[in-house]
Structure 1
Amino acid sequence: MEELLTPVSQVYRKRTDDEQLLRPSEPIKSAPEPSADFKGSSPGEALDVLKGQPSYDSLLSVLRYLRKGTQGKHSFDVRIPNPQAAQVIHVLITEIIPNYWTVLIEGSAGQLKGDVDILLACLQSIPGINAVLTYLRALLREAKGDRRGPKQSHAIFTISFILDALSRLLQEDGDLKRIWSSTHSLDNHAQVRPLRQEFITLFTSGKIISLSAEAEDILRQADKLQDAVWTGDGKAYIDWLGRNLVQWVRYGLTDNDSNLCAEIVTRASRLAHSDNLAKKLFADLLLGDTNSSSAFTTLFGHFPPLEQRKMLSVILKYLADMCLNALDTSEKTEDYPIVWAATGALKMIVGDDEVRKGHLVSWLTGNPGAGIGEGCAIRRAAIAVLAEDKEAITTVLEKSISQFGDPLYIKHTPILQQEAHAQVLLLSAGYVHRLAPIKLTVLTRSGTYLNAISNRIAASQVSARFLGMVVGESLSSLVHGADKKLSFNMEEMATDDANWYKSLVRVYDKVGPLDPLRASVSTSKPAKARKPPKPKERATPQPSKAAPNSGFVIEEIEDDEEEDPDLVPYAKPDSDAEDSDDDPTLINRDKPKAPVYIKDLIAYLRDTENYDKQKLALTTAPTLIRRKASYGTEVSSHAEELATLLVGLQDKYDLDNFHEMRLQGMIAVVVAQPKKMGQWFAKTFFDGDYLLSQRASILVVLGLSAREIAGFDASEYAAAASFPSKRLPAKVEKHYVPSAPNTYGSSAAKLKALPPNALDGIAQSLSQSFLAPLAAEAADAVTGPDALKLSSFTSRLQSQSGSSSSSPNDAAAATKKKRQPGVRAIPNTTASLIAASFFFPLTSRFQAALHSASATARGVLFQPELLALYLKTLGLLLHAAGPSTLALPQMTAELWDLLLAVRGRCIPTSLPQGPGGGDWEPGVARALLFALVALLDVNEGDMRGLCERHGREVVETTEWVAAVFSDTRGGDGGAGGSEEEELKMLAAGVLIRLREAVEKYQALLMGDLMGFT
């Protein structure tokens, strides 16, 4: 019967520990304890010890064994990729660091090379760093996926350990070379090639920066971040990479290493702040000793042509900013050693290579190029490099003349770029005249040159005509004699500016030694900020005891006379809030006094660790700067330093009205030195390394200070800054000193508090004043154009402007009365100042940034909020300059070209996308329409000239605004407070004004309408 039974299943059960203990026949075996000193001789044994939770001494023994392999004392090197090394690295990162990191750090305290350095030496390789990053990515994924949040995640502590280990792995300046040197023991080229690509990708892909920044953010959310990690800062990482490359290149390179370093630089140029890498290589290598200079030229030769061109542009800008822009080249002397030193540095880079010479020629004559917005010294140095090459310098002159006379170039190129190219033309003409006078004679008699001068003289822009006359007279003075040379006999040609341009043809620079340049760069490097020393504690003053025999007797004398009624007793002082503190030891009796000199103000602003000094500096800065502006050279000498401190100041103590006081301080600096600081702030906006909020504050400062200079707004600090001895009593002053008039003759408004949207309020006010007469005319008409629906537009405008009490006819009459065509708004000096120092630097540098090779500059400019504020600022500057400025045609042309260039950023989704757009940005669209409002408002008295000079722009803008109006959603009536309704109102106002101009000057526009689709 048993064989008929088939078991369904069988279960095998292991003996439990209790059963094993109950069996007396089997003795109990204890687990062998690991030896305190590792005696193994194979990586397998080391791996077993690491997996078995070793003691601290055993761990150190294994790590020392692994480190000996990296030093070549035995055959196993954990840094060489192989299966056993991968297992050891995995255990070190996932088991040893999470469990032993704190102990290793404590064991390394006070030691030059501690226990943790032994562990890091085993991981300092391409596989080791890759494994660290892989494990960090996995930990971040685990922390983000935890439903309890980062604070409750178990991976937080491990993330902090791994992040600390990563920062320590890469903290030395020679780590990059040390990591690559671990692959030298590989003889197989098939193994080295993939490691080379992995090495380049590891340090140039941005993976280290992104993962470190992400880990830092997770730790910050979990309140576990103690100190910021440098590997998450893109700028600090680029600086580390530059220092490593400098040290690697400086101490000798093989051909393979040169190619490797050149490829690292090329790939790293795609990262943010990559310009700092080129500057570091130039400053530390080329300006170093002789060996370093030759090493730089060797490295530069391994770059691809495109990278050579980009690095040459960065070096030219670096030379201009650090050394040459501060040079005053207006003096008659031609001895400028610093310019010659810059010429020598550029000559070492360019050499006799035709491709590099072509890059320099392209920079001098390209669009944009020639250092737009920079001083003339950098152009002098660049042209002096090509001075000995007859063919190259002639090419520069021929391209400059051909470009100089192009009608499209004259009409659409920013004036600062035209001035830079005019300087290049004059400088190159002087060198060509010395090398081959007959060549210059032939060029001046060519049709290209004659047409260039004719086109310049016929231009509508004053600056374009001025440059044409300067070039004509200068080249004629070289070719013709004193009796036959060209002379226009105009006042503009006798000014200092014209004489300086004419003197450029006589400039002769040579290649000089690099010593002046080295000294200038070394002194220009910013010193490391040091913490101010803590103030010493003062001893509590003891009350002085009078000497017993001092001879002085205090006697109280009673006065029987009556009190004088005219004598008013002093009021009791207000109680100090700090004196009421319960703890008398917390009372600060050593408060700083308000600064009375600019140098004291600068010292207070620099002392970011002192709350009282920071508050005093911000409070007194607007008044002190304005008071010192016209007396002495305190402000003029320290204006840039003051502006730099104010722009970069952070609200560390959460001060009340911090941003308002900071803006007022910067406005005071600009108002005190408008010609110099307007250009400085425009340059800083594009070139400075600042946050978006700080860049936005620069735009607000430029807009508000320009309006104050033009007389639109009067700051409350202006009256407080004047000296009492220079003022009449208040009762008398009102009879003799009238209020400052603005553009339309009314008294200036008081600019008191500065809200965050200060420019937005001004822009809205100007828009309403522009739309008011249009609404009045629409209200008078029985029926308006059906396409525009002006009835709803009028109702919205009246509800927004709050002018329901006055009739539309009154508004129109008041507006027409304000804008009498014969009234001169502001002096031409003020208008030209706003144009030259505020408006043109902003527009010209924007065009240069659009063509820049730096992706960072373009990315910052096209941030929607910043771009909208930038366009509003340009509109306010144009309105502040007013219709009386001589540069109005040039300002109008540059602003209109810029607006049409950025309209792609605010195209509705139903319209085809432009080259620069992609998203619908209503904020940018409103700012663009406001800039058009300002442009049409200022040019209201010359609409015929506007249509004559800019016919195609008028037609294109009309079509674009009509599309924006039709594709924008908006209510048919009501108060209208949404963004779409405001946008539609602005589009309606601009469209009405443009269509009126098109209908009125249709015959004049017929030529431009031909072929327009």
Structure 2
Amino acid sequence: MDGLLTPVSTYRASEKREETKPARKQTSHSAPKSAEDALEILRHEPDYDSLVTALRLLAAGKSAQDGGFNITSPGPLSAQIVQVLVSEIAPNYWTLLKEDSDGGKASSPFKHLLGCLGSITGVNSILVRLRALIQEARSEGKGVSKRPDISMNLRILLDLLCHVLEGDDCVWRIWNSATASLTSEAKIRPLTHEFVSLFGSGRVVSLSAEAAEVVTQPSNTNNDGTWPADALKYTQWLGRNIVRWLESRSAETQVKAWSELFVKTLQLGHSELLVKNVFLALVPAIDAQFRVLLEALRPTEQRKVLFTVLRILSQDYLNRLGDSHKDTSKPIISSAASAISNILGSDESLRSHLVEWLTSSSGAGLGEGIGIRRAVLAVVAQDKDSIVTVLEKSISQFGDQLYIKHSPILQQEVHAQVLLLSAGYAFRKSPIKLTMLMRSSVWLNTISNRLSAPHQRARFLGMVVGEALSGLVDKGEKRLDFHMEETNEEEGKWYKGLTQVADEIGTIGDLFTKQADKENPKPAGKPSIRKQAPVSKAPPKLPQQGFIIEELSDEEMEDDDLPTYAKPDSDEEDSDDDPTLITRNKPKAPVYIRDLITYLRDTDNYDRQKLALTTAPPLIRRKAGFGTEVSEHAEELASLLIGLQDKFEIDSFDELRAQGMVALIVAQAKMMGPWFAKTFFDGDYSISQRAAVLVVLGLGARELAGFETSTYATGGGAFPSKRLPEKVENLFLTPQNPSDRQLSATSSLKPLPPNALESVTKSLTSDFLAPLAASAADSATGPDVLKLSTFTSRLEEKQGSTDTKKVKIKHKPRPRIRNIPNTTAQLLYTSFFSPLTARFQAALHSSSSRTRGILFQPYLLSLYLKTLALLVHASGPSTLSLPEMTAELWRILLSTAVRAHAVGDLPVTQAILFGFLTMLDVNEGRMRDLCSEMGREVVEAQEWVADVFRGLRGGDGAGEEADVKMLAAGVLVRLNEGIESYQLVMVGDLIGFG
């Protein structure tokens, strides 16, 4: 009996019961043999050793029982494990695992955890957990108690997400692990949709940014956030991952996945940056891969990417060539043409996109240099039919009456360049084709419509194109020659010389090699090193002659008859209580532009920043006429000034920065006017920075025109160091013309007010309306003759309900607008006004919601319209381009988009009315021409202003609405007078109106 009741049987029964019982303590210490065992360990609060064992098993992808388990493959078991890792393990062990990462080795538990979560399921689980915690954090104000650990958990999850997505091959690895066991297309298709939605839809950015915002609330500890919360950095990361994917051998079998991801990423708001990163990474060495990427896209997406590549080539490589078509520019243009040709390959659809880019009404690189058009035409010219198509479409468009009348001149200049370049290529490919085109009615109508154009610049382009093409086909006396001085000057010869340009397709590597050399220039020569004299062991004996410096003791000093002086007062540098904070080595004022740039870049040094801001205006103005310092560094200096942040809260920071930019514009108007206009539309800047660009454009133009403005210097004088006394100098430097003003500009030091442009606008408005108000007040009684009622009483009385009668008020004389030299007026038109209006027209037709959202921000839109009006006023009535300026601004003010944004927005409405009033005032001497050339537009403006006037209140009160109504009344009076005086010349143009 004793043998039957041995302890062995009792022990085995107990062991059997223990195996069936889920005892957490024993399971946590046992080594897991399968994924299920690992899941059980993770679910029951394992200790650190058990966690490390489970993570090692899951990361290895091997187990003893199931024959192999891959946690990165989608499945129910992997989803459960990932959920436990994200919600329980990461919050508890994250800090400990990071400390035990062992320098980032692949065998560390930290890397094992990241490997387990590096999958579609893992990233999704982190995002789901982030959303849940964010919702719980947001619910605090709704009567729900908030856990104190939410901020800490959010911070851990953000850090976890940042590490999981780290690396340029992350996306590729996640896709490969997810599809490794899938062979059926039916299973891969839904996975592709989930994959693209996860990484390309913006979920990662939005949830990360929202979580970072919750973490960095004032009640929580500070956190700088992580890079996935920044859309710009996330787009750059995706671009690098797509490049790595394309470079892999498996890219061709996964075209649908990465092409859809690329298209989806284009919608994140930084499409140009994404294309640029992919293009620059692929084209220099693996140009075929970029072609594969384009061929995988839909036609609309191909067009968008190709046009973005052209813009990148132009801005980063070709714009610095300027308008030169000399031999020195050919190598870079040939390299750019090679890049475009390699991308196109033999794809005819891509070639058709290039033809469209050259001939579309808003294309051909509007606002860019001619280099990109030369490169594109060099590629298109390889196919005879394509270049002939470009020429035919260009001629047809160039002579269209509506195009001549309504397109900005800058746009017409671009298409004139395309026409001339394509004509040269077509003549060399097929002379008979160009000859036939010039004998056709289309060509004759083109020249006829150009010569009859109302704008002088449009006629000039027509004459230049006519003489250039006739010079190719006709010989001897048959050549067309208008015998005009403009066509034989430098600009006319440059246009006509475009027909002789013949660029070839070169080597693509040259383009990027030259760019690398530019970014990392080699030293011009070996710097000379001054040899120091050897130091002797014993000090040399001093010579006996000359001065001898001898140190005297205090006792010896008492015997001398030396006068004593009181201790000097403490200076500003010693005013600080803490002697360690006193800066003895303060920087000296920069005397060269390169020193100024160095100071502006040093954003961590308060003294340098303040000194750079205060010395920039006088330094730029002194250096403007001496050497090429300013011209060589103007763009870099302007970029630094625009992007400068007020990190140290410097007094009058905005005013000092604006003074520096105005000085740049005045010093290099021809270069910086178009540059600032381009920056306003294309630069990645805030609303306040874009507004600063408009302000300095308006103020700089007025200073160039010679109007009295605040002096933007902050110290110093003219460049010569020896100057006459101030009273004597004033006798010789009396500012009677703009050039004299520039010399004496630095003698009177006045600050630039922060609302300088608004002040100018109000001053001009008062000047425009004063004669009308005085005339209208003649019949009024009472002391307050400038009230709105005295100004509008006759207007409302005459208008009535039918609006059939017009008001005519006799103006009292007022000072005439200053006439400025035609050269300055032409400069304001070509370098300031035309780039702003042309890019606005291009933005109206842009498909980018970001561009339209920025442009039609109410404050920016009103400031933009006022800037254009001030440019017209600064040009004055004597400018030869006044008809073109008036027509372009008038049509912008009457455009549907602008008037739609004026509804319910008084500042925009006021800006439109100010624009009309300015144009009417400047065109006072040519009102007849205005009514005859733009009869429909004048009547349309009158009807719109009348509607605005009737829709505004104001009455006798004050305020913004009353001011706008008074401005509308002034515009309406001017329009009514013009229409009543010249209604007969408008009859022909108004047939069928309305």
> How would you bin the TM-score normalised by the shorter chain?
0.7 to 0.9
Are 1:81 and 2:74 counterparts?
yes
Q: Per-residue displacement from partner, 1:503-549 (whole Å, max 9, x unpaired)?
A: 1111111111112212134456799xxxxxxxxxxxxxxxxx99999
Name whichever of 153-162 and 252-261 sits farther off.
252-261
Equivalent position amino acid for 1:395 in 2: T
1:208-219 to structure 2, matched below 5 A, reads: 208-219=204-215
Q: CA deviation at 1:362?
A: 0.7
Are 1:360 and 2:380 counterparts?
no
Structure 2 match to 1:971: 954
Secondary structure in structure 1 of the residue aligned to 2:684: coil
Q: Per-residue displacement from partner, 1:603-644 (whole Å, max 9, x unpaired)?
A: 111111212111111111111111111112211111111111
How many angstroms apart in 1 are the aligned matches of 2:225 and 2:757?
36
How many angstroms apart in 2 are the aligned matches of 1:276 and 1:842?
24
* Equivalent pair of 1:252/1:295 in contact (CA under 8 Å): no
Are 1:960 and 2:928 counterparts?
no
Which of 233, 236, 240 in structure 1 is aligned with 2:233?
A: 236
Q: CA deviation at 1:426?
A: 0.5
Equivalent position amino acid for 1:731 in 2: K
Are 1:135 and 2:115 counterparts?
no
Which of 37, 61, 66 in structure 1 is aligned with 2:58?
A: 66
* Equivalent pair of 2:168/2:241 in contact (CA under 8 Å): yes
Structure 2 match to 1:915: none
How many angstroms apart in 2 are the aligned matches of 1:81 and 1:525?
47
Mark the CA change 1:71 to 1:931 in structure 2 (over 3 Å): closer, same or farther: farther
Structure 2: runs of 5+ lacking an equivalent: 1-20, 522-538, 796-808
1:670-689 to structure 2, matched below 5 A, reads: 670-689=665-684
Secondary structure in structure 2 of the residue aligned to 1:1002: coil
Which of 832, 838, 860 in structure 2 is aligned with 1:866?
A: 860
* Equivalent pair of 2:820/2:878 in contact (CA under 8 Å): yes
* Equivalent pair of 1:772/1:812 in contact (CA under 8 Å): no
* Equivalent pair of 2:712/2:751 in contact (CA under 8 Å): no
> Between the two proteins, what is the percent identity of the paired residues?
53
Structure 2 match to 1:723: 719
1:627-776 to structure 2, matched below 5 A, reads: 627-718=622-713, 720-723=716-719, 725=721, 727-740=723-736, 752-776=750-774
Secondary structure in structure 1 of the residue aligned to 2:327: coil
Are 1:575 and 2:585 counterparts?
no
Q: CA deviation at 1:225?
A: 3.6
1:490-889 to structure 2, matched below 5 A, reads: 490-523=484-517, 575-718=570-713, 720-723=716-719, 725=721, 727-740=723-736, 752-781=750-779, 791=789, 793=791, 816-819=813-816, 825-889=819-883
Mark the CA change 1:492 to 1:70 in structure 2 (over 3 Å): closer, same or farther: farther
How many angstroms apart in 2 are the aligned matches of 1:269 and 1:598?
39
Equivalent position amino acid for 1:488 in 2: F
How many angstroms apart in 1 are the aligned matches of 2:988 and 2:650?
60
How many angstroms apart in 1 are the aligned matches of 2:767 and 2:655?
27
* Equivalent pair of 2:710/2:752 in contact (CA under 8 Å): no
Which of 216, 237, 253 in structure 2 is aligned with 1:220?
A: 216
Q: CA deviation at 1:782?
A: 6.0
* Equivalent pair of 1:906/1:924 in contact (CA under 8 Å): no
How many angstroms apart in 2 are the aligned matches of 1:777 and 1:610?
59
* Equivalent pair of 1:647/1:694 in contact (CA under 8 Å): yes
Structure 2 match to 1:103: 96
* Equivalent pair of 1:699/1:873 in contact (CA under 8 Å): yes
* Equivalent pair of 1:778/1:791 in contact (CA under 8 Å): no
Q: CA deviation at 1:151?
A: 9.9
Are 1:999 and 2:980 counterparts?
yes
* Equivalent pair of 1:79/1:182 in contact (CA under 8 Å): yes
Mark the CA change 1:1000 to 1:298 in structure 2 (over 3 Å): closer, same or farther: same
Equivalent position amino acid for 1:778 in 2: A
Mark the CA change 1:436 to 1:33 in structure 2 (over 3 Å): closer, same or farther: same
Name whichever of 772-781 and 254-263 sits farther off.
254-263
* Equivalent pair of 1:393/1:432 in contact (CA under 8 Å): yes
Q: Per-residue displacement from partner, 1:646-705 (whole Å, max 9, x unpaired)?
A: 111111111111111111111111111111111111111112111221111111111111
Secondary structure in structure 1 of the residue aligned to 2:820: coil
Are 1:458 and 2:452 counterparts?
yes
Secondary structure in structure 1 of the residue aligned to 2:320: coil
Structure 2 match to 1:486: 480
* Equivalent pair of 1:371/1:378 in contact (CA under 8 Å): yes
Q: Per-residue displacement from partner, 1:946-972 (whole Å, max 9, x unpaired)?
A: 11111111111111111122222x232
How many angstroms apart in 2 are the aligned matches of 1:726 and 1:1008?
64
Equivalent position amino acid for 1:758 in 2: A
Secondary structure in structure 2 of the residue aligned to 1:336: helix
Q: Note the aligned Cα RMSD (angstroms).
A: 3.3
* Equivalent pair of 1:151/1:221 in contact (CA under 8 Å): no
* Equivalent pair of 1:143/1:153 in contact (CA under 8 Å): no
How many angstroms apart in 2 are the aligned matches of 1:587 and 1:182?
60
* Equivalent pair of 1:347/1:385 in contact (CA under 8 Å): yes
Mark the CA change 1:94 to 1:456 in structure 2 (over 3 Å): closer, same or farther: same
Q: CA deviation at 1:453?
A: 0.8
Mark the CA change 1:175 to 1:559 in structure 2 (over 3 Å): closer, same or farther: closer
Structure 2 match to 1:26: none
Q: TM-score, normalized by length of structure 1?
A: 0.86
Secondary structure in structure 2 of the residue aligned to 1:164: helix
How many angstroms apart in 2 are the aligned matches of 1:137 and 1:873?
46
Alignment coverage as a number of residue pairs: 923
Structure 2 match to 1:339: 333
Which of 322, 330, 346 in structure 1 is aligned with 2:316?
A: 322
Mark the CA change 1:372 to 1:38 in structure 2 (over 3 Å): closer, same or farther: farther
* Equivalent pair of 2:31/2:50 in contact (CA under 8 Å): no
Structure 2 match to 1:924: 908
1:247-258 to structure 2, matched below 5 A, reads: 247-258=244-255
* Equivalent pair of 2:302/2:350 in contact (CA under 8 Å): yes
How many angstroms apart in 1 are the aligned matches of 2:327 and 2:145?
67
Structure 1 match to 2:160: 165
Q: Per-residue displacement from partner, 1:104-126 (whole Å, max 9, x unpaired)?
A: 22222633444322111111111
Are 1:985 and 2:966 counterparts?
yes
Secondary structure in structure 2 of the residue aligned to 1:1003: coil
* Equivalent pair of 2:676/2:693 in contact (CA under 8 Å): yes
Q: Per-residue displacement from partner, 1:92-148 (whole Å, max 9, x unpaired)?
A: 111112222222222226334443221111111112111111111111111111129
Mark the CA change 1:32 to 1:790 in structure 2 (over 3 Å): closer, same or farther: closer
How many angstroms apart in 1 are the aligned matches of 2:145 and 2:307?
45
Equivalent position amino acid for 2:978 in 1: A
How many angstroms apart in 2 are the aligned matches of 1:520 and 1:552?
59
Structure 2 match to 1:56: 48
